[in-house]
Chains A and B, each alone.
Chain A
Amino acid sequence: MVDDPHTYPDPPRRLTRLLSALCADRFWEEVSGDLHELFLDDVEAYGVARANRRYLLNALRYLTPFFISQTSTFVALQPAMLKHHLKISTRHLVRQRFYSLINISGLAVGLACCLMIVLFIRHELSYDQQFADGDRLYRVLDVFETPERSGMGSVTPTPLASALEADFPEVEQATRIAPQLFEAGSSLVRTANDAQNRYETGFVYADPNFFAVFDFPFVQGMPETALAEPRTLVLTERKAAELFPGQDPVGQTLVLNNTTESPFTITGVLADLPSNTHFRFDYLMSMVDVDVAQIPNWGFSNFVTYAKLREGVAAEALDAKLHAFTLAQRGEPRPGTSATFTLQPVPDIHLYSSDIYGFWSHGNIQYVWLFGAIAAFILLIAAINFMNLSTARSANRAREIGLRKVLGSVRAQVIAQFLVEAVVISALAMGMAVALVALALPWFNALADQSLTLPWGEAGIYPILLGTVVALGLLAGGYPALYLSGFQPIRVLKGSLSRGSKSGTLRSTLVVFQFATSIVLLIGSLVVSQQMDFLQNKALGFEKDQVLIVEDSFTLGDQAEAFKAELERIPGVERSTASSFVPVDGYVYNGAGAWVEGKDPAEDEIGVAKWFVDADYAETLGLELVAGRFFDPSRPGDAEATVLNEEAVAEFGFDDPIGQRVRSYTRLDPETGELISDAYTVIGVVKDFHFQSMRDDIGPLTMVPGQGGQATLVKLSTNEVQGTLAQVEALWTQFAPEQPFRYNFLDERFAQMYTFEARVGRLFGVFTALAMLVACLGLFALAAFMTEQRRQEVGIRKVLGASLTQIIVLLTRHFAMLVGIAFVVAAPVGYLLMDRWLQDFSYHAPISATVFLVAGVSALLIAVLTISYQATRAALANPAETLRQ
């Protein structure tokens, strides 16, 4: 037998440590000694590897109640001890009202933010989960790449759905909808009883098998046959109640856009769509009699195609086959370009569509992450408050801990005491947070355009809330518990523990972290609001102010010309133009393929926006001509003329654009289903203007003369807007007594393009303010404590002649420095994050130094104001009083 420690290895150290934690102390010496000896015997007998295994097996046998139940941790959690901890906790909370209140309310605000954001995220993640076989539902996306641009779109060609069903055995059903085609989108609606039209949105065409793929519940009617007949539609319950109050809507008719000769018959009523579906419609119209939907033309893209795959089919495998299929249908693409189809799971549509062109607006997974991170940070800031206050004020509890230990408490029992306290505080905070959320939710809903509710009905919420309370208590209470329980009774009872100064570095670091986080948020909200200003005020290339949009003017039919003439006679009206092409989102956008005449469209076709406008368009919108002229109705040749923007000139590759001829597709031959193209002579070039959102680059635009006049744009030249508006309305009523007068202002519609960003900006602002508030609450309490500690020092300084200012500076300096460090940390982080956000916009403001200056100065100011209240109070105290104590 060898007794030299260097000759033999030790048993696995980590395992030993684990076992020592689980085995009660009174057995440990005997157990570990014997195990060690046995291990060495095994090494001699079998070698190290086998000895290690046998050591593990032997050690595992100590995991029995006999050895574990006598550990101090176990004892500390006995019901009687828990009751004791609870009692002591309540007494402390009540005695230290000020600090308790700050702790609890800080945590409550943090938790309330968290709860609200969690509700929001939960809702965002719940989209489109309601369909049967939802995991087999896919949306087909068109993926294209050309030298100029690449992207994905949900707008797919007419025959895709039927081809999918015919050629792919993997596809069980394929169905299409068309949210923007003829009567789809918005329409004027009249029931048999109505004298006047109503303006309604949410019209969508759908194939008869739509409900076989998406099982939206019906209140009335048969899903199988609802859309089988021409000119039939189903509508949602709320619209049915609005249009036919107190009547049975099924069998009633609806006249759309004055087409009295072919009204729609209602065949069913749908339950209202839930808020968590990507579909946005109130009326689904049958598509069986829509010609363009039946002619199989691969160049005509107006439909969203959905596919339901057979069970057990992998979407990825189908993707590969779709690529070969596309090549066969569309032919080899020209060099540098590619086009294929791919499948996107329907539940992904809401959050993963930000770079997919298509109908309806969606959420964005980035914002889910962003707000999730904000929630976590606010909660962390609140938890840090708790940690800092507990450790800072540790001296006040030191004697209690010392006494406990002298009377026989082991460390685990002291830890349990502090953890119970932390859990009590977090439970109180949770109660307050839930109340706050209940109060603030309607307001949050309005701000975020959501319809969130607290899900009291769900049993799952209660264990989650309870779990959060415990987890938060352990998180926030863990460090103070370990720190405080480590006090040595002999030192604290002698009073030699320096008061509250210990772990000052860690506390400072945590304060820096809190303020760094707040400053990052502050920089973020400043940049967002600056970008919003930038979007509103950027020179757009057109005049958006004082432009009135008179909607639905196409209903005037032959009278449109007369209406326009009368309109321009109104004193406040400068000019007007009939066009549905308005340079903001939400109006008609028409894309077409175009090429220089004489070239091969298969080789040199580029995608352009093709707008039908009249001669007054440029002047009404204040477009600037850089070459040539705009349309002139007196020249008959102008019927085949076009005006380009600079981008189109560049993409066509013209050096001298005037007089060049371009061709583009104009219409579909109803007989053959072929696209027919027309030639246009370029007569003018306008300066590039932002006709789409500034998230995108300005694309090529061709304007051709035409009466696409769904709306009439009216340029006003007066400040008397209300009076002029009344006159326009009077004129409208005279021309179209059966039509409601609907109007918008161009600048307002423009602002609406960025409502999403504006909303994010506002939410950002609110949460930044709350983060700041919580951080300041903590700082306030910490400063209160620190100044309290230094009362006598301040007294002595005053006696020795220090001025008020000197004392305030003395007490404020340290925290101000921490905020300064926080700023240095936060500025680059904020810059990098916001720079990334701005990359989403093709046009964005630079991040200016002002942002950092404002963020830094305001954070410092807020912090200094918070501390200086305490500092001033301490500085004003009568030294005679403070020194006497």
Chain B
Amino acid sequence: MKGNNLGEFEELILLTVAALHGGAYGLAIQKSLAAETERKVTLSAVHAACNRLQDKGFLSADFGAATARRGGKRKKLYTVTVRGQQAVHEAQALRMRLWRRIPPGNLQIDVSW
């Protein structure tokens, strides 16, 4: 099996899939990610990541209905699996642990001006 650790991009994908709740297919994920992060996110990167996450068992997929707008192709709709949910939670927990270990004053951004 491939490892359970998540890359940053993969984590963002998992979160976006969860956020889109049932409407998560490649193009929707790409658009939502691009809007949130204000980064350039390519469709092929999203597809590669989604399929890799599916191979790892973090995402599962179902095909929706075919539409003319998609050239007669069906949407591949992703949902986060239980393992996927565990993985994001674990990543989140790891982050929190690390935040807690930071002494006060470090990483403090001065927002006064």
In whole Å, how far is A10's beta carbon from the nearest beta carbon of chain B?
7
**Interchain CB contact under 8 A, B71 and A61:** no
Contacts of A61 in B (CB 8 A): 42-45
Q: Mark B29-46, 1 if CB is under 8 A from A, else 0.
A: 010000000000011110
Q: Decide if A640 is an interface residue (CB 8 Å cutoff).
A: no
Kindly count the residue-residue contacts between A and B in the assembled complex, taking CB atoms under 8 Å apart: 68
Q: Decide if B81 is an interface residue (CB 8 Å cutoff).
A: no
Interface of B is mostly: helix
**Interchain CB contact under 8 A, B67 and A10:** no
Contacts of B9 in A (CB 8 A): none
**Interchain CB contact under 8 A, B43 and A40:** no
Once A58-B42, A61-B42, A67-B48 are accepted as A-B contacts, the answer to whether A34 and B25 lie under 8 Å apart by CB is yes
Give the segment of B10-18, B72-80, B88-96 that binds chain A: B72-80
Residues from 22 to 44 in A contacting B, C-beta threshold 8 Å: 27, 29-38, 40
**Interchain CB contact under 8 A, B43 and A35:** yes
Contacts of A534 in B (CB 8 A): none
Contacts of B30 in A (CB 8 A): 34
Q: How far is the CA of A1 from the CA of B69 in the complex (A)?
A: 9
Contacts of B69 in A (CB 8 A): 1-3, 8, 36-37, 40
Q: Mark A1-31, 1 if CB is under 8 A from B, else 0.
A: 1111100101100000000000000010111
B27's partner among A2, A10, A34 (CB-CB below 8 A) is: A34
Task: Give how many B residues have a beta carbon under 8 Å from the other chain's beta carbons.
Answer: 22
In whole Å, how far is A174's beta carbon from the nearest beta carbon of chain B?
66
B73's partner among A10, A29, A38 (CB-CB below 8 A) is: A29
Q: How far is the CA of A3 from the CA of B66 in the complex (A)?
A: 11
In whole Å, how far is A53's beta carbon from the nearest beta carbon of chain B?
15
**Interchain CB contact under 8 A, A38 and B67:** no
In whole Å, how far is B55's beta carbon from the nearest beta carbon of chain A?
10
**Interchain CB contact under 8 A, A66 and B48:** yes
**Interchain CB contact under 8 A, B67 and A31:** no
A29's partner among B45, B67, B68, B76 (CB-CB below 8 A) is: B76
**Interchain CB contact under 8 A, B71 and A36:** yes
Once A38-B27, A61-B42 are accepted as A-B contacts, the answer to whether A31 and B47 lie under 8 Å apart by CB is yes
**Interchain CB contact under 8 A, A37 and B27:** yes
Interface of A is mostly: helix
Q: Decide if A587 is an interface residue (CB 8 Å cutoff).
A: no
Smallest CB gap from B51: residue in A:
A27
Q: How far is the CA of A877 from the CA of B63 in the complex (A)?
A: 63
Contacts of A11 in B (CB 8 A): 71
Q: Decide if A64 is an interface residue (CB 8 Å cutoff).
A: yes
**Interchain CB contact under 8 A, B44 and A67:** yes
Q: Decide if A443 is an interface residue (CB 8 Å cutoff).
A: no
Contacts of A369 in B (CB 8 A): none
Q: Decide if A62 is an interface residue (CB 8 Å cutoff).
A: yes
**Interchain CB contact under 8 A, B68 and A5:** yes
B67's partner among A3, A58, A64 (CB-CB below 8 A) is: A3
Contacts of A1 in B (CB 8 A): 69
Contacts of B68 in A (CB 8 A): 3-5
Q: How far is the CA of A636 from the CA of B99 in the complex (A)?
A: 134
Smallest CB gap from B71: residue in A:
A36
**Interchain CB contact under 8 A, B70 and A33:** yes
Smallest CB gap from A11: residue in B:
B71
Contacts of A3 in B (CB 8 A): 67-69
Q: Decide if B26 is an interface residue (CB 8 Å cutoff).
A: yes
Smallest CB gap from B48: residue in A:
A66
Contacts of B43 in A (CB 8 A): 34-35, 38, 58, 61
Q: How far is the CA of A3 from the CA of B67 in the complex (A)?
A: 8
User: Which of B42, B52, B68, B75 has the most A CB atoms < 10 Å from its CB?
Assistant: B68
Contacts of A33 in B (CB 8 A): 26, 70-71, 73-76
Smallest CB gap from B27: residue in A:
A34
**Interchain CB contact under 8 A, A36 and B44:** no
**Interchain CB contact under 8 A, B25 and A10:** no
Q: How far is the CA of A64 from the CA of B30 in the complex (A)?
A: 18
Contacts of A10 in B (CB 8 A): 71
Contacts of A64 in B (CB 8 A): 44, 48
Contacts of A5 in B (CB 8 A): 68
Smallest CB gap from B78: residue in A:
A30
Contacts of A58 in B (CB 8 A): 42-44
Smallest CB gap from B49: residue in A:
A66
Q: How far is the CA of A5 from the CA of B69 in the complex (A)?
A: 7
In whole Å, how far is A11's beta carbon from the nearest beta carbon of chain B?
8
**Interchain CB contact under 8 A, B44 and A62:** yes
Q: How far is the CA of A115 from the CA of B82 in the complex (A)?
A: 67
In whole Å, how far is B104's beta carbon from the nearest beta carbon of chain A?
44
Smallest CB gap from A31: residue in B:
B47
Contacts of B52 in A (CB 8 A): 66
In whole Å, how far is A44's beta carbon from the nearest beta carbon of chain B?
11
Contacts of A36 in B (CB 8 A): 69-71, 73
Smallest CB gap from A29: residue in B:
B73
Q: How far is the CA of A2 from the CA of B75 in the complex (A)?
A: 17
**Interchain CB contact under 8 A, B70 and A37:** yes
A-B contact pairs, 29 of them (CB 8 A): A1-B69, A3-B67, A3-B68, A3-B69, A8-B69, A11-B71, A29-B74, A30-B25, A30-B73, A30-B76, A31-B26, A31-B47, A33-B73, A34-B25, A34-B27, A34-B43, A35-B43, A36-B69, A36-B70, A36-B71, A37-B69, A58-B42, A58-B43, A64-B44, A66-B48, A66-B51, A66-B52, A67-B44, A67-B47
Q: Which 8 A-B pairs have the closest CB atoms?
A: A33-B73, A36-B71, A61-B44, A33-B70, A5-B68, A30-B76, A34-B26, A34-B27
Known: A10-B71, A36-B69. 5 other contacts (CB 8 A): A32-B71, A33-B26, A34-B26, A38-B43, A61-B45
